[in-house]
């Protein structure tokens, strides 16, 4: 049940107030059955009451974790580096301690994990693309958690799923021991005796072979009469297959029920906008992101530090001596956020629109510029557009130059633009592959890295979420270099 504000004390709060612990020990649990493990197939809806605040904030926290997993994967992070990045995101946004920790926060953490999954399932079930993205990231998160879990917890969790697997008994294992060992030699130091000992001590599951294509591809399982013999050490493969199938079916079912759920006016705005949410720094709503700049500085600063979307609009503005409304809004708020004051903004736009008379400029453009700075109309000082707003907003039509080049340019135009920026063929292909896979912000991040090669490892930045984040990162690198070399530049 959804409600505006909950005043009822839940079991976790009550236990905490009484200084009691909520934990699992020797199979005896003080946790509800659905939260006996931190692993979850999310087969049942959250049983508790949920406030509107929890509904939204829990979803956004989980979204940060899923995006971190996606970014780490796309940027080819592996081993300790991947683990460090994911663990930091989990600890900050979605902590989920094991039963062995005996933490008093177990129930609340698992409740948040449960609720946040279902909210995002609602938000990401409305289209095939969104469902595919959510399924991919949730599988990655589940796999990561499963691999971090202890062997005993894995066994308990799998036993509770009641899946149609059969454990290979000892007599049957002995009959095919040599064949199982042949699939294990590479793991056991490549000696037959070590392989046989490993098989003898390992638990095996017998499953239909079509359920473990990745293990077959790696030749790590023995197959006979349509059955694959999977060792406990490779159990994650068949568990993942079950999780993927279960969640995929659930997303399809949720998408069919969504129209009825959206009748609740409290939920609809959240469900429609959660995947577009930006929760980073708010650029330009109150203060600029750097020192004040003059209108005469804009050309150089944009050329050196602006992302492709802004430099494209600036180039078009200089060439056409005009920019249509969508471009003026996107580019004007960006300039405001980098430190262009209202007085300097009026000078910049007036000198840019040289084909217009002073009277026409005052009547048709001056008001909108002042409006963006909160000096007209409702007197609201507007923030610069973030990447998701630009990517998912109104696409540019003929004669427009706003939008995201990685999202809205044709492949041919984008390739030509990248080559004109003197990127090499390998770099262009790498960025274009990201664009084809719809990883527009990662493509922009990669563009930043290849256009700032002089800074080496320092050019490796977090995924770009905002054009002004890109601008600030570029200026920071240049300033650090200038401080080291004692050069004079515009700051």
The torsion angles phi and psi of 466, rounded to 5 degrees, stand at: -155, 135
Write the CB contacts of 293 (distance below 8 Å, at least 6 apart in sequence).
Answer: 301, 338, 339, 340, 344, 490
Q: What is the pTM of this model?
A: 0.69
**Tell me, what DSSP letter sits at residue 313?**
H
Q: Is the pLDDT of residue 27 over 70?
A: no
Q: Is the pLDDT of residue 171 over 80?
A: yes
- Give the integer Cα–Cα distance in Å for 121 and 153: 26
**Tell me, what DSSP letter sits at residue 221?**
S
Q: Which two tokens stand for residue 51?
A: 């406030």
Question: Which pLDDT score is estimated for 203?
Answer: 80
Q: Is the pLDDT of residue 325 over 90?
A: yes
- Give the integer Cα–Cα distance in Å for 239 and 37: 15
pLDDT in tens, 407-455: 999 999 999 999 999 999 999 999 999 999 889 999 999 999 999 988 8
Where do runs of H (alpha helix) occur along 262-386?
Answer: 268-273, 298-305, 308-320, 325-337, 342-352, 358-361, 367-372
Average pLDDT over residues 182-197: 71
- Percent of the chain, pLDDT > 90? 47
For the chain, what is the mean pLDDT?
A: 85
Select the more confidently predicted residue: 489 or 256. Answer: 256
Is the Cβ–Cβ distance between 182 and 231 less than 8 Å?
Answer: no
User: Which residue's structure tokens are 């409740």?
Assistant: 111
Question: Which pLDDT score is estimated for 25?
Answer: 41
Q: Which two tokens stand for residue 131?
A: 């469902």
* pLDDT-derived band at 484, boundaries 50, 70, 90: low
């Amino acid at each position: 049940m959804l409600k505006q504000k909950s005043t009822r004390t839940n079991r976790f709060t009550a236990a905490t107030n009484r200084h009691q612990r909520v934990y699992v020990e020797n199979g005896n649990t003080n946790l509800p059955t659905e939260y006996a493990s931190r692993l979850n197939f999310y087969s049942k809806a959250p049983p508790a009451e949920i406030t509107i605040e929890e509904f939204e904030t829990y979803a956004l926290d989980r979204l940060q974790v899923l995006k971190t997993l996606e970014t780490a994967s796309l940027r080819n992070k592996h081993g300790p580096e991947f683990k460090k990045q994911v663990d930091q995101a989990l600890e900050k946004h979605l902590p989920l301690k094991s039963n062995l920790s005996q933490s008093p926060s177990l129930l609340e953490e698992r409740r948040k994990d449960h609720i946040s999954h279902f909210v995002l399932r609602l938000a990401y079930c409305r289209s095939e693309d969104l469902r595919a993205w959510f399924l991919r990231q949730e599988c990655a998160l589940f796999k990561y958690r499963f691999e971090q879990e202890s062997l005993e917890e894995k066994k308990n969790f799998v036993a509770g799923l009641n899946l149609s697997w059969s454990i290979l008994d000892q007599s049957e294992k002995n009959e095919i021991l040599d064949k199982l060992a042949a699939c294990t030699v590479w793991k056991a130091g490549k000696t037959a005796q070590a392989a046989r000992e490993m098989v003898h001590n390992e638990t095996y599951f017998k499953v239909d072979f079509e359920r473990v294509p990745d293990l077959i591809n790696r030749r790590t399982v023995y197959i006979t009469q349509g059955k694959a013999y999977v060792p406990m050490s490779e159990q994650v493969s068949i568990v993942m297959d079950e999780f993927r199938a279960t969640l995929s079916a659930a997303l399809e079912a949720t998408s069919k029920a969504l129209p009825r759920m959206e009748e609740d006016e409290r939920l609809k705005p959240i469900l429609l906008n959660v995947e577009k949410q930006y929760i980073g720094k708010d650029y330009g709503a109150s203060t600029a992101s750097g020192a004040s700049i003059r209108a005469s500085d804009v050309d150089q600063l944009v050329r050196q530090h602006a992302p492709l979307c802004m430099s494209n609009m600036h180039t078009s503005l200089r060439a056409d001596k005009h920019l249509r409304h969508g471009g003026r809004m996107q580019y004007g708020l960006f300039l405001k956020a980098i430190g262009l004051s209202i007085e300097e903004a009026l000078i910049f736009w007036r000198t840019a629109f040289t084909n217009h008379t002073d009277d026409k400029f005052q009547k048709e453009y001056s008001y909108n510029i002042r409006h963006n700075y909160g000096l007209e109309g409702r007197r609201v000082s507007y923030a610069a557009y973030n990447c998701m707003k630009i990517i998912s907003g109104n696409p540019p039509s003929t004669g427009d130059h706003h939008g995201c080049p990685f999202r809205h340019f044709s492949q041919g135009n984008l390739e030509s633009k990248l080559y004109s920026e003197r990127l090499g063929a390998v770099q262009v292909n790498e960025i274009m592959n990201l664009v084809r896979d719809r990883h527009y912000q990662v493509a922009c991040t990669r563009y930043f890295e290849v256009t700032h090669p002089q800074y080496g490892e320092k050019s490796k930045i977090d995924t770009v979420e905002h054009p002004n984040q890109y601008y600030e990162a570029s200026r920071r690198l240049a300033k650090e270099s200038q401080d080291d070399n004692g050069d004079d530049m515009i700051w």
